[in-house]
């Protein structure tokens, strides 16, 4: 039997006693793949994680074994039990209990995947109206102003629950709030065809109800991730979750034309709405608001998570005066408004633009709308990786946030200005894709900044800034219908470009990546 052994040394600043016996990892045959595990060494002040990769050289019968050991250092806020001496004390039983764990990449964390899935459903249920509105407006004889009113009615409810959702999530836990949101908006989605047949007022109310459910999603998610994800992985985890929104748009825009063509426009709302119940069942049984609430996590894992998380104690009261007195908070609010104006216009009106200006039919409009959202899903994760890499290399969080958000503002502004000079439909679609692709860098800019400056109040702060973003959606979506009745698409894009430029100036003058609220 071939046996692989890894001898562990101390990389701490204190003397460390060697193990009483070496950990033994045995396999019946010569390993053909790398063996990966981690070993944790703790003192009363810090914890060192050794990521070990063991592989066979493949030469001869005995072969050679290589071990790559990397050490990551973490601060431990709570002291270890008194029975543990100052030098590291690693017994065999302690090693078995907490030292040898299979390596799990950050993006495989189950809570992040569930949040990603929720946001996938969120945008699937939101964008299906932008496709279904075309046959619906033909059936019910709605003019552009009425279409704009219907599209904006979603934001009436969405606006109501931003701050309330943040307060609720920070005080009672993100699990309950996000679960409520998904099941609420799923029911409203399924009721949309019934409301449309009942009359325009009923449709407006149901769309507003759907907005109520989706309005709590972002604050709840922000609160959950602030407790589960360390600062070093913040941009990547948020980018992955928000890319769920973009892929949700891809799925919604891609499948809606097919369902409408085969089964009629009501089928889109019935089928998409039913998916929320499947997610809700998994969420109730597997998700937890905080590592403290998860019975499957071992004490060592909980301590490690909290040692690297900024948000620990639950919030009992909200210091509104202190929050609203900070300049970086207002930079978030103003920048969020400027960012969402352009984003929500593209989200709700893009299929109409493709249909009216580029002369695509219903199926083509849906398919071409997929391309910009695919670009956003890719560039959001690329931006998250770039941002975390820059931070790990020593660049300040403030500088990284300003760089990423400047790309998120100036990129869309540039590409929207090119649309008025383009006659080719293919080039117009490319410009849209580039505009939204650069827009997604905002996930590593302003959308990550809430947890930077106020980790304990990240849900409240996101609810506050996203309220301004929702107002931009309400006014921008409704005013677009008015502008199109009296002007052109060029006028629509000029307003968005102007707000992108304003946001760039405000963000670079007043934002920060440092914690300003404890």
The domain locations on the chain are 106-311, 322-517
For residue 136, count other CB atoms closer than 10 A to its CB. 20
Reported pTM: 0.64
Give the pLDDT confidence score for residue 431 in this predicted structure: 86
Least confident of 52-56, 439-443, 489-493: 52-56
Which helix H or strand E contains 437, and what residues bound it?
Answer: helix 425-439
Between CA 450 and CA 442 the distance in angstroms is 12
15-48 per-position pLDDT tens digit: 444 444 445 544 545 555 555 555 555 554 455 5
106-311 and 322-517 in the same fold: yes
Between CA 289 and CA 177 the distance in angstroms is 10
374-429 per-position pLDDT tens digit: 888 889 889 989 998 998 888 999 999 999 999 999 999 999 888 878 777 888 88
Q: Which CATH number does 322-517 carry?
A: 1.20.1250.20
Token readout for 431 is 């410009």
Between CA 138 and CA 16 the distance in angstroms is 76
- Give domain 106-311's CATH architecture: Up-down Bundle (1.20)
Percent with pLDDT over 90 in the chain: 27
Token readout for 146 is 């009425």
Give the pLDDT confidence score for residue 300 in this predicted structure: 63
Contact (CB, 8 A) for 438 and 415: yes
Question: Please, which residues have CB within 8 angstroms of residue 342's CB and are 6 or more apart in sequence?
Answer: 412, 416, 439, 476, 496, 497, 499, 500
The DSSP symbol for 33 reads: S
- On the CB side of 78, CA atoms within 13 Å amount to 12
Give the pLDDT confidence score for residue 191 in this predicted structure: 95
Contact (CB, 8 A) for 323 and 458: no
Which residue in this structure is represented by tokens 């827009």? Answer: 439
Q: Is the pLDDT confidence value at 108 over 50?
A: no
Sign for the CA dihedral angle at 493, 495, 497, 500 comes to negative
For residue 514, count other CB atoms closer than 10 A to its CB. 10
Question: Coil, helix or strand for 352?
Answer: helix
The shares of helix, strand and coil residues in the chain, as percent rounded to the nearest 5, are: 70, 10, 25
**What mean pLDDT do residues 344-370 have?**
73
């Amino acid at each position: 039997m071939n046996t692989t052994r890894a001898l562990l040394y101390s990389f701490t600043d204190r003397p460390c006693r060697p193990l009483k016996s070496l950990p033994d990892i045995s396999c019946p045959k010569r390993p053909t793949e790398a063996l990966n595990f981690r070993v944790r060494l703790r003192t009363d002040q810090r914890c060192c994680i050794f990521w070990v990769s063991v592989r066979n050289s493949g030469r001869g019968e005995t072969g050679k074994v290589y071990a790559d050991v990397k050490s990551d250092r973490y601060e431990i806020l709570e002291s270890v039990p008194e029975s543990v001496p100052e030098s590291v004390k690693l017994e065999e039983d302690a090693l078995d209990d907490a030292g040898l764990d299979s390596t799990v990449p950050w993006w495989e964390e189950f809570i992040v995947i569930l949040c990603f899935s929720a946001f996938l459903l969120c945008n699937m249920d939101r964008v299906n109206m932008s496709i279904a509105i075309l046959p619906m407006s033909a059936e019910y004889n709605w003019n552009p102003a009425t279409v704009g009113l219907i599209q904006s009615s979603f934001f009436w409810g969405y606006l109501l629950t931003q701050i309330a959702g943040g307060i609720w999530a920070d005080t009672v836990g993100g699990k309950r709030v996000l679960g409520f949101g998904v099941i609420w908006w799923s029911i409203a989605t399924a009721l949309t065809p019934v409301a449309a047949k009942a009359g325009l007022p009923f449709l407006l109310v149901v769309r507003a109800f759907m907005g109520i459910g989706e309005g709590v999603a972002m604050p709840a998610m922000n609160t959950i991730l602030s407790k589960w994800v360390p600062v070093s992985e913040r941009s990547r985890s948020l980018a992955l979750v928000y890319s769920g929104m973009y892929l949700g748009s891809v799925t919604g825009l891609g499948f809606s034309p097919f369902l409408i063509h085969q089964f009629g426009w009501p089928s889109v709302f019935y089928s998409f709405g039913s998916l929320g119940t499947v997610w809700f069942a998994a969420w109730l049984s597997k998700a937890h608001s905080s590592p403290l609430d998860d019975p499957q996590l071992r004490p060592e894992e909980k301590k490690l998570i909290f040692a690297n998380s900024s948000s620990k104690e639950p919030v009992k009261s909200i210091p509104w005066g202190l929050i609203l007195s900070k300049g970086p908070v207002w930079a978030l609010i103003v920048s969020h408004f400027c960012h969402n104006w352009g984003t929500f216009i593209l989200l709700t009106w893009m299929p109409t633009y493709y249909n009216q200006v580029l002369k695509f039919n219903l199926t083509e409009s849906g398919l071409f709308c997929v391309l910009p959202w695919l670009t956003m899903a890719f560039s959001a994760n690329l931006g998250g990786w770039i941002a975390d890499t820059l931070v790990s290399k020593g660049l300040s969080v403030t500088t990284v946030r300003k760089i990423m958000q400047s790309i998120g503002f100036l990129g869309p502004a540039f590409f929207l200005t090119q649309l008025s000079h383009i006659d080719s439909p293919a080039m117009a679609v490319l410009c849209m894709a580039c505009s939204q692709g650069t827009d997604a860098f905002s996930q590593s800019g302003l959308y990550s900044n809430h947890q930077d400056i106020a980790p304990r109040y990240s849900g409240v702060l996101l609810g506050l800034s996203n309220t301004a973003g929702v107002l931009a959606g309400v006014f921008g979506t409704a005013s677009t219908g008015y502008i199109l009745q009296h002007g052109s698409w060029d006028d629509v894009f000029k307003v968005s470009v102007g707000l992108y430029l304003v946001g760039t100036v405000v963000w670079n003058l007043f934002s920060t990546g440092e914690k300003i609220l404890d």
